[in-house]
Amino acid sequence: MLSDDNLCDVNPFPVTSLHLRIPDIKSTKYFQNIFIFVKQESRPKIDHMMSDHCPLCGKEKKGEALFCEACTKKLRTEYELVLPQPLLHQPLPSTERPTDVDVDSFIGAVSTQAPEEMPSEESTDATGEETKRPFAASDTAVAGATGTGSRKTGRRGVSIATSILLLLLLFFLYNELIRKGNLERSGWDTAVKSNSVPGYLDYIESHPDGAHFADAQAALMRLKAEEANRWEVLKQSDRVTELRDFLLQFPESHYAPLVRRRLDSLTWMGTLHSNTATAYSDYLMMVESGDFNGDYLAEAESRYRMLFQSYPVDQHTLDSIRIVVNGFCSAISLLDHSDLEQWLAPRVERYFFKGPLARERLLGDLLVAAAQSNEPQIIYTPDLEGIQYEKTMEDHYRVNLPIVKSRNGAGIRDQLPGYIFHLELNPHFQITSVYETKPYPGAP
Compute, in degrees rounded to 10, the torsion defined by CA atoms 183, 184, 185, 191.
110
The alpha carbon of 16 is separated from its chain's Cα centroid by a whole number of angstroms, namely 89
Pairing of strands 350-351, 431-437: parallel
Nearest Cα to Cα of residue 357 among 368, 369, 348? 348
pLDDT digits (tens, 9 = 90+) for 201-251: 888 888 888 888 888 889 888 888 888 888 888 888 888 888 888 888 778
Distance (Å, whole) CA 116 – CA 80:
13
Both 428 and 382 in one domain: the answer is yes
Q: How confident is the model at residue 177 (pLDDT cuts 50, 70, 90)?
A: low
Does one domain contain both 118 and 17? yes
Give the separation between CA 61 and CA 50, rounded to whole angstroms: 11
Say yes or no: 429 and 325 in one domain: yes
Q: How is 82-142 classified by DSSP, letter by letter?
A: B--HHHHHSPPPSSSPPPHHHHHHHHHHHHHHHHHHS-SS-EE-TTS-EE---HHHHHHHH
Asked whether residue 319 is assigned to any structural domain, the reply reads: yes
Gap between the Cα atoms of 283 and 418, Å rounded:
14
How confident is the model at residue 130, as a pLDDT? 46
| Residue 279 to residue 92: CA distance in whole angstroms | 144
User: Is the pLDDT score of 430 beyond 90?
Assistant: yes
Rounded CA separation 129/192 (Å): 89
DSSP secondary structure letters along 319-385: HHHHHHHHHHHHHHHHT-HHHHHHHB-SEESEETTB-SEEHHHHHHHHHHHHHH--SPEEEEEE-GG
Position 142 in a domain: yes
Q: How many CB atoms lie within 10 A of CB 139?
A: 11
- Same domain for 11 and 125, yes or no, is yes
> Domain end: 175, 206, 236, which one?
236
Question: Are both 121 and 9 inside the same structural domain?
Answer: yes
Cα 349 to Cα 4, 323, 355, 423, distances in angstroms: 158, 21, 5, 11
Report percent pLDDT > 90 for the chain.
32
**CATH code of the domain in which 401 resides:** 3.10.450.50
CA angle 53, 69, 74 (to 5 degrees): 110
Indicate whether 120 and 200 sit together in one domain. Answer: no
pLDDT at 147: 57
Are residues 70 and 166 located together in one domain of the fold?
no
Give how far Cα 118 sits from Cα of 28, 31, 82, 133, 346, Å: 15, 11, 10, 8, 154
Digit-coded pLDDT (tens) for 376-424: 889 999 999 999 999 999 999 999 999 999 988 767 788 899 999 999 9
Residue 442 lies in a domain: no
User: Does residue 443 belong to any structural domain of this protein?
Assistant: no
Distance between CA atoms of residues 124 and 132, nearest Å: 9
- For residue 296, is pLDDT > 60? yes
The answer to whether residues 364 and 270 belong to one domain is no
Q: Are residues 255 and 277 in the same domain?
A: yes
Give dist(CA 245, CA 289) in Å, integer.
Answer: 17
- Give the C-alpha separation, 412 to 419, whole Å: 19
Q: Using CA atoms, how far apart are residues 388 and 402, in angstroms rounded to an integer? A: 9
What region, left, alpha or beta, does residue 51 occupy, with left being phi > 0 and alpha being psi -120 to 50 degrees? beta
What pLDDT, on a 0 to 100 scale, did the predictor assign at position 276?
96
Question: What residues have CB less than 8 Å from 414, skipping those under 6 apart?
Answer: 406, 407
Q: Is 159 helix (H, G, I), strand (E, B) or coil?
A: helix
Task: Tell me, yes or no, whether 144 and 251 share the same domain.
Answer: no
pLDDT of 326 reads 96
Same domain, 297 and 346: no
Beta carbons of 415 and 405 less than 8 angstroms apart:
yes
Instruction: Name 212's Cβ contacts closer than 8 Å, sequence gap at least 6.
Output: 184, 188, 203
Examine the pLDDT at 22 and tell me if it is beyond 70: no
Residue 153 has pLDDT above 80, yes or no: no
Residue 444 domain flag: no
Angle, helices 213-234 vs 197-206, to 10°: value is 160
The residue ranking higher by pLDDT, 7 or 193, is 193
pLDDT in the model for residue 6: 44
pLDDT tens profile 38-71:
444 444 444 445 567 887 787 887 767 777 888 8
Domain stops at, among 214, 236, 258: 236
Identify whether 13 is part of a domain. yes
Residue 119 lies in a domain: yes
Strand-strand pairing, 377-382 and 397-409: antiparallel
Q: Which residues of 84-117 are buried (b: 16+ CB within 10 A; e: fewer)?
A: beebeeeebebeeebeeeeeeebeeebeeeeeee
Whether residue 9 is predicted with pLDDT greater than 50 in this model: the reply is no
* Same domain (yes/no): 128, 12: yes
* Residue that terminates a domain, selected from 195, 214, 236: 236
What is the span of the domain harbouring residue 303? 237-307
* Residue 263: strand, helix, or coil: helix
In one-letter notation, the amino acid at residue 346 is P
Q: How far apart are CA 403 and CA 309, in angstroms?
A: 17
Q: Does any domain span residue 373? A: yes
SS3 428: coil
Helix (H, G, I), strand (E, B) or coil at 255: coil
Domain count, the chain: 4
